[in-house]
A and B are shown apart, each in its own frame.
Chain A
Amino acid sequence: MHWEVIADNFDFLMKGLVTTFKLAFLSIIGSLVLGTLLGITRYLRIPFFSLAAAAYIEFVRSIPLILFIFFIHFGFLPYILGAQSSFFASSCLTLVIFTSAYVAEIIRGGLDSIEKEHIDAAVSLGLSKLQRLRYIILPIAVQRMMPAIVSQFIALIKDTSLASTIGLIELTRSGEIIYERTYHEFEVLVFIAFVYFLVCFSLSRLSRLLEARHYIVSDSREALC
Chain B
Amino acid sequence: MYEIDFNVIVNALPQLIKGIKTTLFISLISSVVAFLIGFVIAFLRTMGTASLRAASTIYVEVIRNTPLLIQLYFVYKALPGFGPHLNPVTCGIIALSAYTGAYISEVFRSGINSVNSEQYQAARGLGLNKLETFNLVIFPQAIRVVIPPLASQFINLVKNSSLVSVIAVTDLFYIIYKGAVDDFRFFEFFVVGAFLYMALTGFIAATANTIEKFISTIQEKEVRI
Please give the residue numbers on chain A whose beta carbons come within 8 Å of chain B beta carbons, in ascending order.
59, 62-67, 70-71, 74-76, 79-80, 154, 158-159, 161-162, 164-165, 172, 176, 179, 185-186, 189-190, 192-193, 196-197, 200-201, 204
Contacts and interface: CB of A to CB of B under 8 A. Distances in A.
Contacts of A64: 159-160, 162-163, 173, 197
A165 B81 contact: no
Interface string B174-189: 0011001100101101
A80 B2 CA distance: 7
Contact of B69 (A164, A179, A186, A190): A164
Contact of B70 (A67, A76, A172): A172
A172 B78 contact: no
B62 A197 contact: yes
B193 interface: yes
Interface in B45-79: 61-62, 64-71, 73-74, 77-78
A158 B68 contact: yes
B186 A74 contact: yes
A186 B82 CA distance: 10
Best-surrounded residue of B70, B190, B197, B202 (most CB of chain A within 10 A): B70
B167 to A, nearest CB: 11
Contact of A63 (B184, B189, B194): B194
Interface string B81-104: 110000000000000000000000
Contacts of A165: 69, 166
Interface residues of B, number: 40
Contacts of B189: 71
B198 interface: yes
Best-surrounded residue of A63, A192, A201 (most CB of chain B within 10 A): A63
Nearest to A82: B2
Nearest to B202: A62
A108 to B, nearest CB: 16
Given A63-B198, A164-B69, 16 more contacts: A66-B173, A71-B186, A74-B181, A76-B186, A80-B2, A162-B163, A172-B67, A172-B69, A185-B78, A189-B70, A189-B78, A192-B70, A193-B71, A196-B67, A197-B61, A204-B65
Contacts of B69: 161-162, 164-165, 172
22 contacts: A62-B155, A62-B201, A65-B159, A67-B162, A67-B193, A75-B187, A76-B186, A79-B184, A161-B70, A162-B163, A164-B69, A165-B69, A185-B73, A185-B78, A189-B70, A189-B74, A189-B78, A193-B70, A193-B71, A196-B66, A200-B64, A200-B66
Nearest to A77: B186
Contacts of A186: 74, 78, 81-82
Contacts of B184: 79
Nearest to B198: A62
B66 A193 contact: yes
A66 B163 contact: yes
A20 B128 CA distance: 51
Sorted from nearest, which 10 A-B pairs have the closest CB atoms? A75-B186, A200-B65, A161-B67, A64-B162, A158-B67, A186-B78, A64-B159, A185-B77, A185-B78, A62-B201
Nearest to A160: B67
Best-surrounded residue of B78, B166, B176 (most CB of chain A within 10 A): B78
A157 B165 CA distance: 21
